[in-house]
Amino acid sequence: MAWSVPDRGSYRAAILWTLGSDHSATTRAVANAFLISAFDRSSGRRAWEFDLAAEGPFSPVHEKHNLASPSPVTDGERLYAWFATGQIAAVDLSGKLVWKKHLGAEYGPFEINWGHGSSPVIYKDYLILLCYHERSSYLLALDSKTGAVRWKADASTGETSYSTPLVVEVGGKTEIVVNSSAGVSGHDLSTGARLWHIAETNRFPVPTPLVRDGVIYTSRGYRSSPFMAIRPGGKGDVAASHVPWKVTSGAPYISSLVNYDGLIYMMGDVGVLSVVDAKTGERLHQERVGGVYTASPVAGDGKVYFVSEDGDTIVVAAGRTPRLLARNRLNARQLASPAIAGGRLFIRADDALYAIGK
């Protein structure tokens, strides 16, 4: 272990590690405030901290969830942090406020079973926010420099999502891909209008889609989660025309897939590791490694990393038949997805931020 930093507050958001060349950032909730913190990656020293006063209404959240679950993002000039009240703040890379908004106050309370979970997405000068809640469902694009609204695209009343959208470039156009309770859909970046959809109801869509070599891969989440490959660029109902393959069950309830060198890796909620061929959807390998998993996996340097709620980090050699390399234990609950940067693995636990490596 390179270092660990004890900290206060509620942890669920993943770590942002691209704050310049040497800082990592996290968000968390404490009594009456949301905190954005930046740490020196080499030493763990706290570089700065920004406090945002928490303003309600405050929706109930799941035990594994909190009001600071959305992960922060950066465009290299500003950091954007979004919270489950609907409050969003943009700060510069020294921690000074640039602008802030309260979507819950402007457009209605963020009311969704278990609490809001979607993270912001930055694309060029668009800040994209998925607000699919029980009383009000909409996709919103802000100007990242000023916070001004570029467009707001309303969805069907009651359409919900805990997932983070994905931006995909295809054929000279750009689409926003959404995993929601109604299915998977693609939206025009310039207006938010829906371009295509795959209708498939799901009560709790949590996983985030990914794109690799021009193909979208996503699981739907919830029990016996289906997962599929989708070609972007379609129009209308594309279930029959733009889905090269689909597997009807077997993906995790919460965590997302990772595609590494043409193979999809996933860890089931109760510790079943699966490897799938990304071209065909064929399951190549499956084995039980044990544990309970909420965080999404990460991959790099020929390895795939999974962190369990019990504090284990499972390291496997990537391949069609993955080989277990290590099982390392931290005595702390781990719900947030880890991050890889500068030859180190950064893990966020309930009580601290850890840097693993030399």
How far is 158 from 78, CA to CA, in rounded Å?
33
How far is 72 from 330, CA to CA, in rounded Å?
24
Report which of 289, 288, 297, 300 is spatially closest to residue 334, judged by C-alpha positions.
297
Which tens digits make up the pLDDT trace of 137-159? 999 999 999 999 999 999 988 89
Which tens digits make up the pLDDT trace of 154-190? 998 889 999 999 999 988 999 999 999 999 999 999 9
Q: Note the pLDDT of residue 88.
A: 98
Task: Give the angle subtended at the CA of 294 by the CAs of 165 and 180, to the nearest 5°.
Answer: 30
Show the DSSP H helices in 98-181 as ranges.
103-107
Tokens of 62: 């799941």
Give 40: exposed, middle or buried? Use CB within 10 Å, 0-12, 13-18, 19+.
Answer: middle
Please check whether residue 224 lies inside any domain of the structure: no
How far is 24 from 341, CA to CA, in rounded Å?
9
User: At a CB cut-off of 8 Å and minimum separation 6, what does 83 contact?
Assistant: 27, 29, 34, 52, 54, 67, 68, 70
Contact (CB, 8 A) for 41 and 1: no
* DSSP letter (8 states) at residue 279: T
Please check whether residue 295 lies inside any domain of the structure: yes
- pLDDT means per 10 residues, the chain with 358 residues, are 79 56 73 86 91 84 81 94 95 96 94 91 98 94 99 92 96 96 97 97 94 97 90 98 96 96 96 97 97 96 96 97 95 90 88 88
Residue 326, domain extent? 262-336
Q: Note the pLDDT of residue 11.
A: 52
Which tens digits make up the pLDDT trace of 335-347? 999 999 888 999 9
Contact (CB, 8 A) for 251 and 243: no
Please check whether residue 200 lies inside any domain of the structure: no
Task: Give the angle subtended at the CA of 70 by the CAs of 313 and 138, to the nearest 5°.
Answer: 140
Average pLDDT for the chain:
92
**CATH code: domain of residue 288:** 2.40.128.630
Report which of 123, 221, 227 is spatially closest to residue 176, judged by C-alpha positions.
123
Q: Which residues pair with 245 in a beta bridge?
A: 229
Report which of 252, 259, 250, 251 is spatially closest to residue 318, judged by C-alpha positions.
259
Residue 106, φ and ψ in degrees, nearest 5: -80, -40
Q: Note the pLDDT of residue 254.
A: 92
Contact (CB, 8 A) for 34 and 68: yes
Please check whether residue 213 lies inside any domain of the structure: no
Please check whether residue 225 lies inside any domain of the structure: no
| Domains identified in the chain, total number | 1
Tokens of 150: 């570029």
How far is 212 from 93, CA to CA, in rounded Å?
30
Please check whether residue 330 lies inside any domain of the structure: yes
Please check whether residue 135 lies inside any domain of the structure: no
Q: Tokens 């983070």 identify what position?
A: 164
Q: Tokens 């994209």 identify what position?
A: 128
Q: Note the pLDDT of residue 222.
A: 87
Q: How far is the CA of 243 from the CAs of 6, 51, 282, in angstroms?
A: 46, 45, 14
Please check whether residue 10 lies inside any domain of the structure: no
Q: Note the pLDDT of residue 168.
A: 98
- Give the amino acid at 74: T
